[in-house]
């Protein structure tokens, strides 16, 4: 029996929780890529490559960083803005970086506006509408992030990155743990470092729906 890996979907209508398939969380100083534990710097480089090769590299900041409820949150928000601006500076004119907030977790009915927000109860709508092929969740409470990551993996081909302030996320394709403003800034440095060395191939639209 082959070992389970957390890969871009579409996987299933109801994809399994990665933890139930044997995927474990990294220790401090580590991260995981597709469920394989790696040194954190290796994951930094891979995340930067994913941003630089995506048609629509996107950051989804959640309530923990959108609202300046303490100094740490404000610093993370500043770092996230810096990362986004760095991505914009480093990609080609054919790419379309986006910063789409998840301001709260309430289901939005009858529909959300996928151009300006993402919701954990139906994140695939925002992914599909904007043709997002690589994204990063940051500042989202763990249970809501896990819900979103499973839905995205189940119904889209989008590559997911989680910048988690706690122990990480098994259901992301790539996950960091113990997120700080400094760690987010370090990711921005990796994006700038790899600028020009990573080839962008626009090709056909990468993000697909589950059939």
90-138 pLDDT tens trace: 999 999 999 999 988 988 877 888 989 999 888 999 999 999 999 999 9
Specify which residues 175 forms β-bridges with: 32, 162
Distance CA 87, CA 52 (A): 7
Instruction: Give the model confidence (pLDDT) of 32-65 as tens digits.
Output: 999 999 999 999 999 999 999 999 999 999 999 9
Q: Which structure tokens are listed for 2?
A: 């082959």
| Matching residue, tokens 């404000």 | 74
- The predicted model scores a pTM of 0.91
Q: Which fold has domain 51-165+173-191?
A: Rossmann fold (3.40.50)
Distance CA 171, CA 148 (A): 9
List the chain domain ranges: 51-165+173-191
**What is the reported pLDDT for 99?**
97
Interval 57-84 mean pLDDT: 94
Q: Which structure tokens are listed for 202?
A: 């626009």
**What is the reported pLDDT for 2?**
58
- Cβ neighbours for 165, distance < 8 A, ≥ 6 positions apart: 64, 139, 178, 179, 180
Fill in the DSSP letter of residue 156.
B
Instruction: Give the model confidence (pLDDT) of 133-182 as tens digits.
Output: 999 999 999 999 999 999 999 889 999 999 999 999 999 999 999 999 99
């Amino acid at each position: 029996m082959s070992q389970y890996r957390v890969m871009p979907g579409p996987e299933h209508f109801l994809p399994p929780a990665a933890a139930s398939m044997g995927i474990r969380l990294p220790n401090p100083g580590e991260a995981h890529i597709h469920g394989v534990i790696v040194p954190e710097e290796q994951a930094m480089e891979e995340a930067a490559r994913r941003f630089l090769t995506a048609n629509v590299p996107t950051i989804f900041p959640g309530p923990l960083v959108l609202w300046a409820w303490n100094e740490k949150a404000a610093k993370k928000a500043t770092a996230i803005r810096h990362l986004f601006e760095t991505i914009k500076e480093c990609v080609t004119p054919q790419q379309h970086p986006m910063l789409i907030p998840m301001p709260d977790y309430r289901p939005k009915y009858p529909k959300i506006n996928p151009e300006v927000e993402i919701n954990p109860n139906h994140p695939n709508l925002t992914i599909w509408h904007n043709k997002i092929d690589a994204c990063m969740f940051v500042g989202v409470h763990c249970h809501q992030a896990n819900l979103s990551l499973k839905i995205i993996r189940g119904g889209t081909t989008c590559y997911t990155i989680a910048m988690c302030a706690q122990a990480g996320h098994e259901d992301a394709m790539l996950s960091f743990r113990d997120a700080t403003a400094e760690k987010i800034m370090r990711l921005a440095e990796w994006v700038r470092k790899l600028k020009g060395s990573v080839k962008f191939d626009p090709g056909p639209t990468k993000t697909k729906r589950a059939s």
